[in-house]
Structure 1
Amino acid sequence: MKEGLQNTRPQPQVIIPSAAYSGAIISFVLCPSELLKCRMQIQGTDSLVPKSSRYSSPLDCALKTMKTEGVTGIFRGGLTTLLRESFGNAVFFSVYEYVRYYMHLQLKAASSDHNDLIDVGIGIVTGGLGGVAFWSAVLPLDVAKTIIQTASDKSSTKNPFRILNSIYRRAGLRGCYTGLGPTIARAFPANAAAIVTWELAIKLLGIKRE
């Protein structure tokens, strides 16, 4: 069993570029949807957004954004989203593949009983840790993205590094990681569930990974 697993040792030269590339592609879908989500989330009180400027629905938000900022306005923050997803996915899948490899190496070599239960446990740990690693690595970029997408002054900078530099000077590293607690609390169970489902689907389809 150990010999078979050694043959499937994770290959970072494959994992990192493929995960980064997939993240870049995903960003083109995520950027518009997250822009709408962020803009609708900040209009919860009159002190943030006057009633005359509020959106009645995601579609209304999209239409008003394109009317005032053009079609490219819907992709505001696109570069930052691309950086977040590319780097974040490279981190996620690196952690996922390495943790999965070493857990299989130890647990499945030690026991052949309850393999399904072991697979679920490995999925929970690998997915959860991958999600935590993802957001721990890229949360500052997400903070900058949110600021870019919700800025009232549409001519304000879209450079995430300038924004993060400004935040760091004003509030230190803590400011760059605003919302870390709730994000991590969400990331572990959400990604654990996703990976468990992924692993079970692979097994049901009869796809061999080792």
Structure 2
Amino acid sequence: MGEKKTTTGGGLGFYKEYVAGMNAGLATVAVGHPFDTVKVKGLYRGATSSFLGMAFESSLMFGIYSQAKLFLRGTLPDDGPRPEIIVPSAMFGGAIISFVLCPTELVKCRMQIQGTDSLVPNFRRYTSPLDCAVQTVKNEGVTGIFRGGSATLLRECTGNAVFFTVYEYLRYHIHSRLEDSKLKDGYLIDMGIGVLTGGLGGIACWSAVLPFDVAKTIIQTSPDKATERNPLKVLSSIHKRAGLKGCYAGLGPTIVRAFPANAAAIVAWEFSMKMLGIKRD
């Protein structure tokens, strides 16, 4: 069930994990991007970089997570979810994809805030995501495009560990109940389980890491090159000024987005794996 070995038929079949992950990423952006931009305005502004970044990021995340689980499980029996396998696999994948997400999200955030005239003067406007990236490197150096990297790393490692733990345990126990009740698996049942487990996993994830995301956004969109880049210090400053509520700014829209976006990701991932012949059960 949730933690049984994933098989791809041997040979070079491992690439299928990454294709399935890419499809999950595309589904995530298609469903979640409009909700995400509620926090910073501009609906689909910055969507191009989001689609490209998320497709690549999810391909890596789901692929690395699946392969790492296989490696860590080794010859252990398939007797249910194991946190000692799920957590390090998810954190390893999160650490890798943080290097992809940091620059793409910096571009997305800076493009999005241009939807609010009072925040961005005309002379600092970007004509496209590429222009934003080029101007950032030109004005802030190569390290500028990775501004917010520490916050992104903390968010991705923690968030993915929470997400996959909740997802795997829920999926395992729901399937166990279905087997006990003699219900047969079917497309609609699998999709419903995917919606529930992915959605609740997403809510748990963002409830745990939203403060890191708040710190990241502040660090990446600040016009001051000398702005504090330590996410813990940024959060400490926010807490002193606005309390816990300030650290969870945008919680409502984020939770509203988290369920459908992550539900879509899991449904797309699991459906893609089935179509590609990857067996998990």
TM interval, short-chain normalised: over 0.9
What corresponds to 2:171 in structure 1? 100
**Amino acid corresponding to residue 26 of structure 1 in structure 2:** I
Matched residues, number: 207
- Tell me how far 1:41 sits from its aligned partner: 1.6
RMSD: 1.7
Cα deviations by residue, 1:105-145 (Å, 9 ceiling, x for unpaired) = 11232133353322111111110011111111100000000
Q: 1:7 to 1:42 in 2, by over 3 A?
A: same
What corresponds to 1:140 in structure 2? 211
One of 37, 45, 56 as aligned partner of 2:116: 45
- 1:149 paired with 2:213, answer no
Whether contact under 8 Å (2:211, 2:248) holds in the other structure is yes
- Tell me how far 1:20 sits from its aligned partner: 0.4
What corresponds to 1:203 in structure 2? 274
In structure 2, C-alpha distance between the alignment counterparts of 1:177 and 1:132, rounded to whole Å:
13
In structure 1, C-alpha distance between the alignment counterparts of 2:188 and 2:243, rounded to whole Å:
44
Determine which structure has greater relative contact order: mean sequence separation of CA pairs < 8 Å that are 6+ residues apart, divided by chain length: 2
**Amino acid corresponding to residue 154 of structure 1 in structure 2:** K
Choose 125-134 or 36-45, whichever is displaced more.
Answer: 36-45
Whether contact under 8 Å (2:202, 2:259) holds in the other structure is yes
Whether contact under 8 Å (2:198, 2:265) holds in the other structure is yes
Which SS does the other structure have where 2:170 is aligned?
helix
Q: Which runs of 5+ in 2 are unaligned?
A: 5-76
Whether contact under 8 Å (1:96, 1:130) holds in the other structure is yes
**Amino acid corresponding to residue 93 of structure 2 in structure 1:** S
In structure 1, C-alpha distance between the alignment counterparts of 2:184 and 2:233, rounded to whole Å:
54
**Amino acid corresponding to residue 53 of structure 1 in structure 2:** R
Query: Normalising by the residue count of structure 1, what TM-score does the alignment of the two structures yield?
Result: 0.93
In structure 1, C-alpha distance between the alignment counterparts of 2:90 and 2:260, rounded to whole Å:
21
**Amino acid corresponding to residue 81 of structure 2 in structure 1:** P
Whether contact under 8 Å (1:108, 1:115) holds in the other structure is no
- 1:170 paired with 2:237, answer no
- Tell me how far 1:170 sits from its aligned partner: 1.3
Q: In the TM superposition, what are the counterparts of 1:80-95 in structure 2 within 5 Å?
A: 80-95=151-166
Q: In the TM superposition, what are the counterparts of 1:1-210 in structure 2 within 5 Å?
A: 7-113=78-184, 115-210=186-281
In structure 1, C-alpha distance between the alignment counterparts of 2:140 and 2:278, rounded to whole Å:
47
Whether contact under 8 Å (2:178, 2:184) holds in the other structure is no
Q: Which runs of 5+ in 1 are unaligned?
A: none
User: What is the identity percentage for the equivalent residue pairs of Structure 1 and Structure 2?
Assistant: 67
Which SS does the other structure have where 1:42 is aligned?
helix
Whether contact under 8 Å (2:212, 2:231) holds in the other structure is yes
Q: Name the larger-Rg structure.
A: 1
Q: 1:86 to 1:114 in 2, by over 3 A?
A: closer
